[in-house]
Chains A and B, each alone.
Chain A
Amino acid sequence: MTTLDDQRIAALLQSAPVPEPRVDVGRAIRDGRRRRQRRRVGGIAAVTALAGIGVVGAVQLGGAAGRPAPPTPALATSPAGTVSTAPGPPVTCEASWLPQPVDGPVAVANSVDPTGRYIVGDVGTGQEDGRVVLWTNGRAGLLPASARHAAAVNAGGDVVGTNGDGTGWVYRDGRLRFLATPPGYDAVIVHAVNGRGDIAGTATGAGDSHHAVLWSADRPQEYRLVGQPGSAATGITEDGTVVGAMGQLPYRWTPQGSGAALAVPDGYPRASVDSAHGEWAIGMVPGAQQGGAVQMLPVRWNLTTGAVSVLPFPGATGIASNGDLLVGDGAPLVVAPDGTSRRLPGRPEVRATEAGTYTANGISDDGLTVVGAVYENEVYRPLVWRCRR
């Protein structure tokens, strides 16, 4: 073989006509998240089996940093009536199906507004036809087909999300509008919206450049950059406090825009923030190395006191503004700030019993509405848990 041959073949391969890719990055992230959840769940189930214990009941918080991830209690399969195991008013929860406006084997509720009235999710076949669903008081409506992958909904029913191509959008009063991508960046990732219509996300560009951005739901073509280049926003509270990162540091910005780092738990190299509600934020720290993978451990910050703690759970999916923590993987569990916990019940007709059958993705501000999905027979169905004190 001659060098000329090599170069020529390489050049031909580079220039050979190839059809347009039809690949969806957003879907990869969504599918990947589910798979990651299932995988983590599998690991936890194994730990439980090895330990030979079926923990049921209260899981105490606090003093947890040293001993990550004890086994999660086994899934409750009773149709209704899971009860708080601690003294205090009992909480009764019931799981019910959310109606699907279109058929599709992948139908999942992803987020709920602070009041529990609005729920958003995705329905699709797993192909390139996923639609965003907005359930209002349990009634399903479809968003326009050009909105994909809803991230959040606020108490006014405004829905925000990011399409697979990195375009942000907001759906308000029946109208879909796209968010400005700040000049110098090619994509955005939209994470959260509060009751005032402040939308938080991150603009990304070439060479790893990124910047936290705020938009307003009523003027989506305007934007405000938050902090310095290198910032990222992942959440926003009702009062306009933004949480995210600055470089490797977990970070928060006041509604006026002044920023400060959040504490990193002792003994950990860094931490990231996922979301915030009320005075609480949750995120992750890298834990122990396990077979080549790093196990991420959930952490919680109190934004008022600045205190941070590593949580003794496999993961934290959401936080309510009253401090109720949603552990969504495996056997969905809600943990109150005082450490008492309640498991969420299953549906009687669901036969699958393995951990991971139920996924919980979002929690309302009073901790009483939780949304998620059931995975059974290779089909996801959307589900809501409604609880009463």
Chain B
Amino acid sequence: MDAEREFVEYVSARLPSLHRTAFLMCGDAHLADDVVQQTITALYVNWRRVSRADNVDAYVHRMLVHKLVDEKRLSWAKVRLLGAMPEPERSPVTPHDGLAERDSLLAALAHLPRGQRTVLVLRFLCDLSLADTAAAMGCSEGNVKSQTARALVAVRQVLDITETSGRNPR
């Protein structure tokens, strides 16, 4: 089937970037795998429509965001059902001497609330416009703008701190 071949081609070509996007959004390798798997399955189901509409990337970004939210919601619900306290937030990686800047960025991402993290990845990694980011996240452009601004402040702090500590031997 032609459609299936197109689907395999698209997904094979985009898989590394999809996975990077998902991982940077959630910071969890297993969750990223699950979410990408679910996303490409949903993409396959809707492939004829989505590929014809010529907005495959937009669809995929929206699916990734939604699936991530779903997964988080489900894991939260599980915790609640068991009657236990919600799990504490994953402790962020602590930057230390000699740590590469990009690792600091991962650490900075780990500190961010999910919304800020998502805008950062969509806007800077996926290079989406304000409007496209808002569409993928299902929120207003104003919301995207303010989340981006806050995320950048946080990230810049982490990066500057790293640079400072790199320049000043203790």
Contact = CB atoms under 8 A, between A and B. Distances in A.
Bound pair: A and B? yes
Interface of A: 1, 5-6, 8-10, 12-19, 21-25, 27-29, 31-33, 35-36, 39, 166, 186-187, 189, 202, 204, 208, 210, 232, 234, 245, 248, 272, 274, 286, 292-294, 296
A187 B10 CA distance: 12
15 contacts: A5-B152, A6-B124, A12-B105, A16-B24, A18-B20, A18-B23, A25-B15, A28-B11, A28-B37, A28-B40, A187-B9, A272-B2, A272-B3, A293-B48, A294-B49
Contacts of A32: 41-45, 47
Given A1-B152, A28-B40, A294-B49, A208 B105 contact: no
A249 to B, nearest CB: 10
Contact of B5 (A17, A186, A210): A210
* Residue from the set B12, B37, B102, B156 with the largest chain A CB neighbour count within 10 Å: B37
Pick the 6 closest A-B CB pairs, nearest first. Answer: A32-B44, A21-B19, A13-B125, A19-B29, A28-B40, A28-B41
A161 to B, nearest CB: 14
A16 B24 CA distance: 9
Nearest to A37: B45
B106 interface: yes
Given A5-B152, A189-B8, A272-B2, A10 B127 contact: yes
* Chain B interface residue number, banded: 35 or more
B1 interface: yes
A23 B2 contact: no
Given A16-B105, A19-B29, A21-B33, A10 B5 contact: no
Interface in B50-105: 52, 101-103, 105
Contacts of B4: 29, 189
A166 B7 CA distance: 12
A200 to B, nearest CB: 13
B5 A166 contact: no
Contacts of B155: 9
A13 B24 contact: yes
B102 to A, nearest CB: 5
B40 to A, nearest CB: 4
A13 B5 contact: no
A272 B1 contact: yes
B interface, by DSSP: helix, strand, loop or mixed? helix
A8 B160 CA distance: 12
A23 B40 contact: yes
Contacts of B46: 293
Nearest to B23: A18
A15 B102 contact: yes
A343 B48 CA distance: 30
A99 B11 CA distance: 34
A187 B8 contact: yes
A23 B19 contact: yes
Nearest to B155: A9
Contacts of A294: 48-49, 52
A204 B12 CA distance: 11
A281 to B, nearest CB: 13
Contacts of B159: 8, 12
A17 B24 contact: no
A165 B82 CA distance: 39
Given A166-B8, A232-B2, A27 B37 contact: yes
Given A16-B24, A29-B4, A39-B45, A21 B156 contact: no
B48 A204 contact: no
A208 B102 contact: no
Given A19-B32, A23-B40, 5 more contacts: A13-B125, A15-B102, A25-B15, A28-B40, A294-B49
Contacts of B9: 187, 204, 208
A17 B106 CA distance: 9
Contacts of A187: 8-9, 12
B134 interface: no
Given A293-B48, A294-B49, A18 B19 contact: yes
Nearest to A26: B8
A215 to B, nearest CB: 17
B137 interface: no
A284 to B, nearest CB: 8
